[in-house]
Amino acid sequence: MSFMEIKDLQVHYPVRGGFFNTIVDHVHAVDGISMEFEKGKTYGLVGESGCGKSTTGKAIIGLEKITSGSIVYEGVDVTNQRRQRNSSYNRDIQMIFQDAHSSLNPRKRVKDIIAEPIRNFLKLSDLEEKKRINELLAIVGMPEDSKLKYPHEFSGGQKQRIGIARAIASNPKLIIADEPVSALDLSVQAQVLNFLKEIQQELGLSYLFISHDLGVVKHMCDEIAIMNKGRFVESGTKRDIYQSPQHIYTKRLLSAIPNIEPSTREARKVERINVEQNYQVENHKYYDTNGRVYDLLPISDTHAVAKKEEREVVI
Ligand SMILES: Nc1ncnc2c1ncn2[C@@H]1O[C@H](COP(=O)(O)OP(=O)(O)O)[C@@H](O)[C@H]1O
Ligand SMILES: [Mg+2]
């Protein structure tokens, strides 16, 4: 059973121009996507830079205005009331950003950064708040004396842990993690990913995990949606996407995963060239004459691909 349903979400940004700086066009950053979230699961949202991933995350949490579509949370339509003060939606849906540094207020001590959602949503006494902050620091593996320090005193990985502590402070149900490890060194990336998985199990969290790299999400996600030009080109379980990718764009993303295994490097290179040639020839089957991604068509209970509907010709 899903606790949240997103239907046909669209976010269009106005493009201004001309002498009077009027709206001359719209960027269809998110152009009709649907998703459902279940407790304890991780959903991957993957695509190249500019395809609309962050806009999707921000629209869900309420930082971006929705042009059309709906968000239903625990049976209630919250599409137009996501940013109401103290609402349970704001408490239950939290976000972690790629750039932990700029998402932490440099003038606030760690204890006040982490306490922000506690003060907004969980009316605790001073003593209870102190205890909760210590508990959160312990969960994210930071020493207790971090409390009195400022964000600049920490490394990138530690800052991301502070951002995570803040995100889990209000006991959320869903965390939107927008490229949470992209800015970190490879060795620290693995640590943070493992850690996100650990707290998921402890706290029963769901994640919407955003990344431009199918290599990074592989070990994190139960289900994955591949995004291109503001739409989903393919969605399915981890197995569907990695074992039997159908859309040409998904195949391209898979062939672009960096290869660290020397023995298969040559074979992967050949595969990459094949996929690229195929893309040039088959591209038109996957996009309409305006270059728009087709609607998703189910090909199994779990797997759907955006492809031109082939109607049977009856003679
Ligand atoms: N505030 C904005 N105003 C106008 N266009 C925007 C704005 N934010 C993002 N865009 C455009 O929307 C598209 C999707 O952006 P974004 O969601 O940031 O992509 P991603 O996170 O996948 O890299 C891009 O073409 C981007 O230039
Ligand atoms: Mg982004």
CATH number at residue 173: 3.40.50.300
Q: Do residues 203 and 288 share a domain?
A: no
Ligand nearest to the CA of 31: 1
Q: Which domain holds residue 290?
A: 246-309
Is the pLDDT reported for residue 311 higher than 70?
A: no
Ligand nearest to the CA of 51: 1
CA triple 289-293-298, angle to 5 deg: 125
Q: In the chain, pLDDT over 70 holds for what percent of residues? A: 97
Last residue of one domain, picked from the residues 205, 221, 237: 221
Last residue of one domain, picked from the residues 221, 256, 286: 221
Site of tokens 């991604």? 293
Q: Do residues 65 and 185 share a domain?
A: yes
- The answer to whether residues 210 and 58 touch, using CB atoms and an 8 Å cutoff, is no
Q: Is residue 233 part of a domain?
A: no
Question: What is the distance between the alpha carbons of residues 82 and 261, in angstroms, rounded to a whole number?
Answer: 45
Question: What is the distance between the alpha carbons of residues 150 and 146, in angstroms, rounded to a whole number?
Answer: 8
Alpha carbon 98 to chain centroid, angstroms = 10
Q: Is residue 199 part of a domain?
A: yes
Question: What is the distance between the alpha carbons of residues 103 and 90, in angstroms, rounded to a whole number?
Answer: 17
Last residue of one domain, picked from the residues 221, 237, 266: 221
Q: Is 206 helix (H, G, I), strand (E, B) or coil?
A: strand
Q: Do residues 186 and 279 share a domain?
A: no
Q: Is residue 112 part of a domain?
A: yes
Q: Is residue 241 part of a domain?
A: no
Q: Do residues 209 and 250 share a domain?
A: no
Question: What is the distance between the alpha carbons of residues 236 and 230, in angstroms, rounded to a whole number?
Answer: 17
Question: What is the distance between the alpha carbons of residues 105 and 101, in angstroms, rounded to a whole number?
Answer: 8
Q: Retrieve residue 164's tokens.
A: 């995570």
Give how many domains the chain has, as a whole number: 2
What is the per-residue pLDDT for 312?
62
Q: Is residue 298 part of a domain?
A: yes
Q: Retrieve residue 281's tokens.
A: 């020839």
Q: Do residues 199 and 271 share a domain?
A: no
Q: Do residues 100 and 154 share a domain?
A: yes
pLDDT mean across residues, the chain = 91
What is the per-residue pLDDT for 302?
97
Question: What is the distance between the alpha carbons of residues 8 and 231, in angstroms, rounded to a whole number?
Answer: 10
State the distance from the centre of ligand 1 to the C-alpha of 123, rounded, in angstroms.
Answer: 36
What is the per-residue pLDDT for 85?
66
Out of 27, 46, 253, mutate this one to test ligand 1's pocket (max ligand atoms within 8 Å of CB): namely 27
Q: pLDDT, tens digit, for every residue of 35-44?
A: 999 999 999 9
State the distance from the centre of ligand 2 to the C-alpha of 84, rounded, in angstroms.
Answer: 25
State the distance from the centre of ligand 1 to the C-alpha of 127, rounded, in angstroms.
Answer: 43
| Ligand 1: residue whose CA is nearest its atom 25 | 50
Q: Is residue 239 part of a domain?
A: no
Residue 315 — very low, low, confident or very high, per pLDDT cuts 50/70/90?
low
Q: Do residues 83 and 212 share a domain?
A: yes
State the distance from the centre of ligand 1 to the C-alpha of 293, rounded, in angstroms.
Answer: 18
What is the per-residue pLDDT for 111?
96
Q: Is residue 230 part of a domain?
A: no
Q: Do residues 144 and 287 share a domain?
A: no
Measured from CB, residues less than 6 Å from any atom of ligand 1 are 13, 27, 29, 47, 49-55
**Which amino acid appears at position 6 of this protein?**
I
Q: Do residues 41 and 185 share a domain?
A: yes
Alpha-helical (H) ranges within the chain are 53-61, 88-92, 100-103, 110-121, 126-139, 156-168, 186-203, 214-217, 238-243, 248-255, 265-286
State the distance from the centre of ligand 2 to the C-alpha of 97, rounded, in angstroms.
Answer: 9
List, edge to edge, every strand of the sheet that includes 231-237: 93-96, 174-178, 206-211, 42-46, 223-228, 231-237, 304-306, 296-298
Q: Do residues 250 and 206 share a domain?
A: no
Q: Is residue 66 part of a domain?
A: yes
Q: Kindly report the pTM of this predicted structure.
A: 0.92
Q: Do residues 277 and 204 share a domain?
A: no
State the distance from the centre of ligand 2 to the C-alpha of 54, rounded, in angstroms.
Answer: 4
| Ligand 1: residue whose CA is nearest its atom 24 | 50
Q: pLDDT, tens digit, for every residue of 145-189?
A: 999 999 999 998 899 999 999 999 999 999 999 999 988 888 888
- The answer to whether residues 169 and 134 touch, using CB atoms and an 8 Å cutoff, is no
| Ligand 1: residue whose CA is nearest its atom 5 | 13
Q: Do residues 117 and 210 share a domain?
A: yes
Question: What is the distance between the alpha carbons of residues 221 and 125, in angstroms, rounded to a whole number?
Answer: 37
Question: What is the distance between the alpha carbons of residues 113 and 110, in angstroms, rounded to a whole number?
Answer: 5
Q: pLDDT, tens digit, for every residue of 41-66?
A: 999 999 999 999 999 999 999 999 99
Phi and psi at 190, nearest 5°, equal -60, -45
